[in-house]
Structure 1
Amino acid sequence: MTTKTLTAPARAATPSPPTRRVKRSRSPYPHWFYLVPAVVYLALFLVPTLLSFYFAFTRWDLFTSEWVGLDNFRTFFDQQEFSIGLKNTVVYALITCTLKVVLGLAVAMMLTSTILARGYLRSVIFFPTLVSTIGIGLAFTVLLNPEKGLVNRVLGQVGVDGPAWLVDPGWALVSVALVDVWKGVGLATVIYIAGLVSIPAEYKEAARVDGASAWHTFRHVTLPLLRPATSTVILLSFIGGLRSFDLIWAMTKGGPGFTSDVISSVIYKQYQAGYFGLSAAGNVVLFLVVTALAVPLSWFLNRGEVES
């Protein structure tokens, strides 16, 4: 009887699964479709921006330029109009931003409640946003006329002596800011409406079951969940206020004197006077001011949103 040596059976070679090539998701549009937007962006934004930085260091007259270094910036900072314009720019941005946030939220709360003609009122609130800023400025210049304006006439009927809205140095900037709020509160309202309708109804129902009042529900449920909408409204309103020019120029042209001048109107006056290099330096300064104020604000708002 012969003994056979038993050997371990060789493992059956299991076929490895075929390697699948991961297909990259291709854009449905050919690459040359991006050429036209890139050319437009390059020609209308990037190139003018870089040229404005260059011409800010020159003295030029549309045909010739002479390098002057930082002289334009020194001249711009030494002007009394700059200090007034910088202060007015920040004050204007704070007024318009604060009122748009408060009024936009209040109107949005009203327009998401059960009221009659809710859709019609939403259209009415948003309509001023679509109207030309220059047209609104000219219309309110007539309405706020201290002698013949409709606003002071209505105030006179109730025994109130209306101020010289656009002529009084103490009222000029505030008057333009209020008109800006009237025009822009519609956009803030739409953003807040979108935020309110996206809040799940279960949260409010749970708060009612726990016995929370309407104020506590708004403070501890609605307001925290509206943080993304609030951040958007604050950033858009604040940056828009810092860059505001057309409404101020249409209503007061920076007057009376320099009391309602902002940085943008100071820059435009320099351009009108033929100081193109000085106005280019002012544009660079405005860019730096907006960046220095808006970037930390954006970081703070987004940081708070993440932490919540």
Structure 2
Amino acid sequence: MTTTTRPHPTEAGKHTGAEPRRRTTVKSPYPYWFYLPAALVYGTLFLVPTFASFYFSLTRWTLFDHEFIGLDNFRQFFDEPALVKGFTNTIVYAVVTSGLKVVLGLLLAVLLTSRIPARGYLRSVVFFPVLVSTIGVGITFTVLMNPEHGLINQSLGVLGVDGPGWLTDPKWALLSVALVDVWKGVGLATLIYIAGIVSIPQEYFEAASVDGASAFGRFRHIVLPLARPATVTVIILSLIGGLRSFDLIWAMTRGGPGFTSDVIASVIYKQYQAGFYGLSTAGNVVLFLVVTAVIVPLFWFLNRKEVEQ
């Protein structure tokens, strides 16, 4: 019996002078078709309305007709006396709500990741307001904050404290809505911080304990710097929500008393109610540009700081 042996490809290449064949992989275009449904939805629901709003902000339009008038809508919008107040209120509201959500969310997350009894139940309690309808929360707290018959002022009266007109006093109206917003949204901030804290390797905490670091020292030198991505996320999301706030304010105060709790979004809605569709569209463009002008540089700055560290 005779046996034949095939030469190894490399050996054959050496003897014949021919190079071994290289495998060519052809990339199938099929997976890219999976992007198409998402691209269609994104383009239909976001890109087309965005570009259309930029055009219609330059027109005086109704459902059946439109007339190009240039920048007149923007001039008229900025001449509105309520706009300056609404713009100031929007910035104050966004800063107050986002600041409180960052501080309270971080503190609650530290508490709810420590070894305390009923930790899972307390996490559910903190997160529960996020699941409740914003309009429902607004109506409920409108009743609770009633200056005469509300449960909050009645409870303060039992303690001998004369409660203010939470939603009727111009000094308290915007702040009252902001506090309700924090109560409703702090659960999401807490959840983001919990995810950031539990992702920190336990070896850092063990090494700090061995070195004799106190609880505050571990918080300052481990939790704060390593939970920075969560902080950036909470700041960005809270600021976007605060700058675009409308539903809770409208449900609780309608922008009142007077214009004291009006924000840009409520001013836009009042213009729309009055039938000034082109003017309200210009206001939406202004709001879009304000949010973009605040969020994009802040996002770049915070992420740049994170990379440097």
TM over 0.5: yes
Q: Would you say 1:110 and 2:98 are equivalent positions?
A: no
1:65 corresponds to which residue? 66
Counterparts of 1:167 and 1:27, CA distance in 2: 61
What are the equivalent positions in structure 2 for 1:129-168 lying under 5 Å apart?
129-168=130-169
What are the equivalent positions in structure 2 for 1:20-99 lying under 5 Å apart?
20-24=23-27, 31=33, 34-99=35-100
1:219 corresponds to which residue? 220
Counterparts of 1:225 and 1:23, CA distance in 2: 43
Amino acid of the structure 1 residue aligned with 2:195: A
Deviation at 1:39, TM superposition (A): 3.2
Amino acid of the structure 1 residue aligned with 2:247: D
Q: Would you say 1:292 and 2:299 are equivalent positions?
A: no
- Cα 1:22–1:90 shift into 2, 3 Å: same
Amino acid of the structure 2 residue aligned with 1:58: T
Deviation at 1:35, TM superposition (A): 4.2
Deviation at 1:210, TM superposition (A): 2.0
DSSP-derived class of the 2:21 partner: coil
Deviation at 1:14, TM superposition (A): 5.3
Give percent identity, aligned residues only: 70
Deviations 1:227-267 (A, max 9, x none): 00000000000111000100000000100000000000000
Deviates more, 1:11-20 or 1:232-241: 11-20
Amino acid of the structure 1 residue aligned with 2:209: R
Deviation at 1:43, TM superposition (A): 2.5
Counterparts of 1:292 and 1:23, CA distance in 2: 44
Counterparts of 1:83 and 1:116, CA distance in 2: 49
Counterparts of 1:75 and 1:148, CA distance in 2: 42
Counterparts of 2:228 and 2:290, CA distance in 1: 25
Deviation at 1:226, TM superposition (A): 0.4
Amino acid of the structure 2 residue aligned with 1:253: R
What are the equivalent positions in structure 2 for 1:234-273 lying under 5 Å apart?
234-273=235-274
Counterparts of 2:176 and 2:303, CA distance in 1: 32
Counterparts of 2:120 and 2:30, CA distance in 1: 38
1:3 corresponds to which residue? none
Amino acid of the structure 1 residue aligned with 2:87: L
Counterparts of 1:266 and 1:86, CA distance in 2: 9
Deviation at 1:213, TM superposition (A): 1.8
DSSP-derived class of the 1:218 partner: helix
Gaps in structure 2 of 5+ consecutive residues: 1-13
1:305 corresponds to which residue? 306
DSSP-derived class of the 1:202 partner: helix
DSSP-derived class of the 2:60 partner: strand
Pick one of 18, 26, 29 that aligns with 2:21: 18
> So what's the TM-score if we normalise by structure 1?
0.92
Deviations 1:140-166 (A, max 9, x none): 000000000001111111111111000
Deviation at 1:106, TM superposition (A): 0.7
Q: What is the Cα-based RMSD across aligned positions, in Å?
A: 1.5
DSSP-derived class of the 1:295 partner: helix
> So what's the TM-score if we normalise by structure 2?
0.92
Gaps in structure 1 of 5+ consecutive residues: 1-10
DSSP-derived class of the 2:123 partner: helix
DSSP-derived class of the 2:275 partner: coil
